[in-house]
């Protein structure tokens, strides 16, 4: 309700640019076709097209079905529009009823993340509850009729079931895995890409039953980096797409006169350029928005949140247990996902307000990974 109120009152019920309203309105267009032309509705919802003209005529009525910039990956606008269309069949196109459904999905995904962390760390339940459910920005943006809610749903189902399948293959786990994978592929595929090295490491460390966590972490990421370099050279122009995406973000930020826009070093399509830009990208991802970044109350709240998270991370480092650092499988898992995601979004995003939303999937991982290293007894269950 707070997210709705911000968009409705603070942003003036903008049906053109406000994500929570524009995707809902487009979903209503598809929803109405459910009664008028059910076969066309089915084509648009599934992507199985046998009448191209009818399909095109329907999607042309929407305002956000297509993105201005396309890099050969799935358009996640279509996912949230499809969700609103499908949910509206059961809610009679009521915005707040759709909001209840998407909050249930987000809550389910975050609950599974909590269960995954509880299984593999000795942190107390109240620590995990705070880190999973009560980080302010994550709580806020995953509670709206927005893509972030679907992202947390997919991330929780995917990661929890992946971990189960490492021990035993059951049909329920397979279904959960496929559902989570489908949502991630069609919502925020870059989050899945950033998670992949951590998943490879996790599979090796869990199946190998080894305590040499750092050694496995290092070897896994070196091998994967070599593979990515080869992939970029022969199959997929990763660096060219990243550089192009950055320029699109810069152009969009300038054209829209974004209040929290900041200057960002230009990425060239070379590995050396990416390496040189990575410290700046990490700095921006960890600490933006700064106090001087204009962006209103939301930016100010995010600034205080960054300070609090940085304080907890520093507390973990100052109370570091060397034994935990050496053997902490969870820390290296979380570090992999957090660093890769932060480098990616910090490299291409010159708007602090956008950075806040893009980094929220990693915030729980960052906190839990760091806190798991601390030797402060009140954080951990008694062994």
Contact partners, residue 136, CB within 8 Å, separation at least 6: 301, 305
Q: Are residues 11 and 143 in the same domain?
A: no
Number of domains in the chain: 2
Q: Are residues 177 and 279 in the same domain?
A: yes
Give the domain extent around 335. 99-379
User: What is the model's pLDDT at position 73?
Assistant: 61
Domain end point (choices 39, 59, 93): 93
Of 41-45, 164-168, 292-296, least confident by mean pLDDT is: 292-296
| Tens digit of each residue's pLDDT (9 = 90 or more) over 327-348 | 688 999 999 999 999 999 999 9
Residue 295 has pLDDT above 60, yes or no: no
Spatial contact of 379 and 124, defined as CB atoms under 8 Å apart: yes
d(CA 51, CA 54): 6
Angular region, 379: left φ>0, alpha ψ -120 to 50, beta rest:
alpha
- Specify the pTM: 0.92
Q: Are residues 338 and 206 in the same domain?
A: yes
Q: Are residues 108 and 246 in the same domain?
A: yes
User: What is the model's pLDDT at position 236?
Assistant: 76
Q: Are residues 140 and 19 in the same domain?
A: no
Residue in 317, 315, 259, 256 with CA at minimum distance from that of residue 288:
259
d(CA 161, CA 178): 9
Q: Are residues 157 and 34 in the same domain?
A: no
Question: Residue range 289-303: average pLDDT?
Answer: 70
Q: Are residues 216 and 327 in the same domain?
A: yes
Residue found under tokens 């389910």: 108
Q: Are residues 114 and 57 in the same domain?
A: no
Q: Are residues 59 and 143 in the same domain?
A: no
Domain end point (choices 78, 93, 108): 93
Neighbours of 380 (CB within 10 A): 18
| Tens digit of each residue's pLDDT (9 = 90 or more) over 70-121 | 655 668 899 999 999 999 999 999 999 999 999 999 999 999 999 999 999 9
Q: Are residues 71 and 132 in the same domain?
A: no
Domain end point (choices 93, 127, 156): 93
Q: Are residues 42 and 150 in the same domain?
A: no
Q: Are residues 39 and 156 in the same domain?
A: no
Of 23-27, 80-84, 306-310, least confident by mean pLDDT is: 306-310
Spatial contact of 363 and 137, defined as CB atoms under 8 Å apart: yes
């Amino acid at each position: 309700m707070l997210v709705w109120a911000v968009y409705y009152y603070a942003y003036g019920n903008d049906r053109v640019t406000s994500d929570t309203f524009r995707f809902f309105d487009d979903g209503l267009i598809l929803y109405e076709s459910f009664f008028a032309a059910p076969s066309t509705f089915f084509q648009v919802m599934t992507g199985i097209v046998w009448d191209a003209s009818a399909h095109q005529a329907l999607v042309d009525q929407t305002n956000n079905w297509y993105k201005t910039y396309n890099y050969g990956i799935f358009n996640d606008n279509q996912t949230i529009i499809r969700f609103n269309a499908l949910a509206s069949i059961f809610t009679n196109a009521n915005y707040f009823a759709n909001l209840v459904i998407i909050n249930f999905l987000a809550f389910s995904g975050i609950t599974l993340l909590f269960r995954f962390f509880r299984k593999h760390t000795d942190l107390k339940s109240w620590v995990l509850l705070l880190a999973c459910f009560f980080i302010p920005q994550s709580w806020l943006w995953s509670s709206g009729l927005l893509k972030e809610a679907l992202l947390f749903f997919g991330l929780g189902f995917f990661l929890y079931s992946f971990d189960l399948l490492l021990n035993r293959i059951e049909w329920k786990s397979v279904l959960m895995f496929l559902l989570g994978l489908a949502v991630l592929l069609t919502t925020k595929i870059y989050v899945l890409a950033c998670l992949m090295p951590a998943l490879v490491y996790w599979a090796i460390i869990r199946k190998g039953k080894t305590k040499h966590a750092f050694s496995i972490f290092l070897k896994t990421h070196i091998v994967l980096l070599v593979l990515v370099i080869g992939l970029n050279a022969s199959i997929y122009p990763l660096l060219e797409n990243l550089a192009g995406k950055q320029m699109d973000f810069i152009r969009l930020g300038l054209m829209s006169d974004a209040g929290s826009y900041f200057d960002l070093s230009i990425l060239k399509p070379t590995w050396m350029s990416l390496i040189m830009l990575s410290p700046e990208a990490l700095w921006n991802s960890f600490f933006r928005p700064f106090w001087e970044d204009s962006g209103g109350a939301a930016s100010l709240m995010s600034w205080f949140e960054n300070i609090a998270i940085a304080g907890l991370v520093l507390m973990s480092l100052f109370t570091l247990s060397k034994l935990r650092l050496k053997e902490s499988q969870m820390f290296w898992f979380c570090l992999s996902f957090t660093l890769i995601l932060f480098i990616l979004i910090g490299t291409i995003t010159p708007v602090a307000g956008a950075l806040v939303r893009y980094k929220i999937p990693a915030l729980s991982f960052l906190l839990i990974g760091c806190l798991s290293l601390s030797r402060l007894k009140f954080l951990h269950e008694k062994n």
